[in-house]
């Protein structure tokens, strides 16, 4: 690729994704919008009649699915077209129109679930017996009826919906304060130049080889947070109280139960994660001791945790070389997987390179009927190769799900969403560690792997435990003061990082800069997903009986069953401690290997 950022028109077609396979041109897209709008306008005709018999129910569900299948094509096309050139006014207009149409579709179909919940379970069973085709919706209907005890009357649901915006105020206030209003001081960088600390450059500053830079950034940032600690405590308190109100009014025993019930996740999954990580903290303590020795420090502080302990290794990997590396690394997944992946690399699933106006970062997207598209901004770095492997994991999950499931089950739960992507990264890392010749490169890769464990399993589990503690405290009538939050958070850092790390006073306020505490028991899924992926990749590498077959079965399952059951198909039971313990065993083994090499 030529140096400098290219204009969109200068990117070769073969390096862009094939949106024409969705709609030949804007006129075709506009015509589909008109068709869907008409279908949405007509949909309320089902109100009052669709719960009378099996045939009427089937027709309503099929009509709804046809509308959502079409609007997802419309919306995916529009937002992907905008993402490759956010400066294009026509694309902005398409995206706005698609969003408005999506809102209209949701509004016109919103009566369906409340009306369904007026039925008794025996009514649903009778309908399923009366119409063979309706049985396709068995799991879908069961999932709706499962939550019947937690759904209120139509009037009460309407009041709660109208209160939603008010209930979301604490998070909005937090976001405005954290992202817009907070101003951080200026420090001197490695070269003695002034640099203003921002949310975006804080971690790069913490990765600095210069310890004075790290310390200054750390102390300066958290000094600002400390000066607003009571405001941050109030916003978090307000957000959690809103969740408590909603959980109680919906007849749940706790906010945690209410949150996990959305995907039918047992509380034991959450508890087992924390239990397993606690039982394996010795390996984290050993890793921290190695970090202290490698950095040749008398004291290891919290601001020393992000700086690399291995000198930067220059992996220069052009895109095509990266693709070949990924293919070799993922060969244990077998012929069927590799054929699908080759189709992705050769059939313009991927928008590869950066261009002016293109959205930053990377993602896997598309709709049920489209290719499972991938957006990249590829540069020739090792991190970018891992990004390709990661996003291809998501896209292959989508590819197999859409090929094997009807539209109603053609997606997958957030609980399992990161499994396939992380498994790909694990297989790539394993392959590179086993095949690298240079000692420093091997050290770098092992440390990269260990840091993934530290930040995704240990740190996210610590967040999950903090979230559980403060919710339970509030539910029992406690007051979430800044003092209580800081004390609780600091104690958890002591527990998770161990005796070789000085737990600086400033870290006590770190909870104030973590937006995930407003996501209502979301973060534990990072740790469970990572653990499941590690467990599965190890089974595949060890050639366990039918491991690949089971894994492909998982990728093909979509949401045809609850996420816990779908993972069991793959060979991982997240209701037990085994998957997290297996991941912890690999972490311990890598720590020992690093110890020998360092």
Per this entry, what is the length of the chain? 598
- Which string of b and e fits 321-353 if b means at least 16 CB within 10 Å? ebbebbeebbebbeeebeebbeebbeebbbbbb
Find residue 194's DSSP bridge partners.
188
Beta-carbon neighbour count of residue 362 at 10 Å? Answer: 18
Q: Catalogue the active-site residues.
A: 391
Going from the C-alpha of 517 to that of each of 191, 233, 250, 310, 524, the distances in angstroms are: 36, 11, 21, 32, 11
CA distance 266 to 257: 8
Supply φ then ψ for residue 557, to 5 degrees.
Answer: -85, -25
Q: Give one DSSP letter per residue of 306-338, joined into a string.
A: SS-SS--------HHHHHHHHHHHTGGG-HHHH
End-to-end alpha carbon distance in the chain? 37
Q: Please, where are the H alpha helices in 84-201?
A: 89-109, 112-116, 121-130, 138-146, 154-167, 169-175
CA distance 228 to 512: 9
CA distance 106 to 128: 26
3-state secondary structure of 245: helix
**Nearest C-alpha neighbor of 277 from the set 592, 582, 580, 591:** 580
**DSSP category for residue 355:** B
CA distance 581 to 229: 37
Instruction: Tokens 């492997």: give the residue.
Output: 389
Supply φ then ψ for residue 575, to 5 degrees.
Answer: -80, -5
CA distance 496 to 280: 10
**Nearest C-alpha neighbor of 101 from the set 66, 63, 72:** 72
Q: Please, where are the H alpha helices in 359-458?
A: 382-404, 419-435, 439-453
CA distance 291 to 3: 37
Pairing mode, strands 374-375 and 350-351: parallel
**Nearest C-alpha neighbor of 174 from the set 519, 518, 521:** 518
**Nearest C-alpha neighbor of 412 from the set 263, 264, 559:** 559
């Amino acid at each position: 690729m030529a140096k400098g950022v290219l204009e969109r028109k200068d990117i070769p077609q073969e390096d862009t994704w094939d949106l024409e396979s969705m709609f030949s041109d804007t006129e075709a897209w506009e015509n589909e919008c008109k068709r869907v709008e008409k279908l949405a306008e007509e949909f309320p005709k089902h109100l009052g009649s669709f719960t009378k018999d099996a045939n009427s129910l089937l027709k309503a569900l099929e009509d709804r699915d046809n509308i959502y299948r079409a609007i997802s094509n419309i919306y995916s096309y529009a937002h992907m077209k905008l993402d490759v050139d956010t400066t294009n006014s026509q694309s902005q207009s398409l995206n706005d129109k698609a969003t408005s149409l999506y809102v209209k579709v949701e509004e016109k179909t919103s009566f369906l679930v409340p009306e369904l919940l007026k039925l008794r379970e025996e009514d649903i069973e009778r309908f399923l017996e009366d119409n063979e085709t309706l049985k396709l919706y068995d799991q879908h209907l069961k999932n709706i009826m499962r939550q019947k005890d937690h759904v209120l009357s139509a009037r009460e649901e309407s009041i709660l919906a109208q209160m939603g915006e008010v209930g979301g105020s604490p998070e909005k206030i937090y976001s405005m304060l954290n992202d817009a209003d907070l101003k951080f001081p200026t420090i001197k960088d490695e070269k003695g130049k002034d640099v203003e600390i921002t949310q975006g450059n804080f971690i790069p500053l913490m990765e600095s080889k210069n310890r004075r830079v790290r310390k200054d950034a750390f102390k300066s940032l958290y000094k600002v947070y400390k000066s607003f600690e009571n405001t941050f405590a109030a916003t978090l308190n307000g957000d959690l109280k809103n969740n408590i109100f909603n959980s109680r009014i919906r007849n749940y025993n706790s906010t945690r139960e209410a949150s996990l019930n959305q995907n039918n996740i047992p509380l034991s999954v959450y508890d087992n994660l924390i239990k397993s990580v606690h039982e394996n903290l010795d390996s984290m303590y050993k890793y921290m001791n190695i970090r202290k020795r490698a950095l040749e420090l008398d004291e290891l502080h919290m601001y020393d945790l992000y700086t690399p302990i291995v000198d930067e290794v220059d992996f220069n990997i052009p895109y095509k070389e990266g693709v070949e590396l990924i293919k070799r690394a993922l060969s244990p997944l077998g012929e069927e997987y590799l054929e699908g992946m080759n189709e992705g690399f050769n059939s313009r699933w991927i928008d590869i390179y950066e261009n002016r106006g293109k959205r930053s970062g990377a993602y896997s997207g598309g709709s049920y009927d489209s290719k499972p598209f991938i957006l990249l901004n590829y540069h020739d770095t090792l991190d970018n190769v891992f990004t390709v492997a990661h996003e291809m994991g998501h896209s292959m999950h989508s590819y197999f799900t859409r090929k094997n499931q009807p539209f109603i089950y053609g997606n997958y739960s957030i609980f399992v969403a990161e499994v396939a992507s992380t498994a790909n990264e694990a297989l790539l890392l394993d392959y590179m560690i086993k095949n690298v010749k240079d000692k420093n490169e091997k050290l770098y890769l092992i440390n990269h792997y260990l840091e993934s464990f530290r930040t995704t399993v240990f740190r996210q589990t610590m967040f999950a435990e903090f979230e559980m503690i403060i919710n339970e405290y509030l539910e029992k009538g406690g007051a979430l003061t800044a003092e209580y939050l800081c004390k609780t958070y600091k104690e958890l850092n002591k527990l998770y990082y161990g005796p070789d790390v000085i737990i600086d006073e400033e870290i006590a306020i770190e909870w104030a800069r973590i937006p995930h505490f407003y996501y209502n028991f979301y973060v534990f899924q990072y740790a469970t997903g990572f653990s499941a992926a590690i467990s599965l990749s190890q089974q595949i590498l060890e050639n366990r009986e039918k491991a690949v077959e089971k894994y492909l079965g998982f990728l093909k399952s979509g949401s045809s069953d609850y996420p816990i059951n779908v993972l069991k198909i793959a060979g991982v039971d997240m209701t037990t401690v085994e998957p997290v313990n297996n991941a912890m065993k690999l972490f311990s083994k890598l720590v020992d290997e690093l110890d020998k090499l360092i």
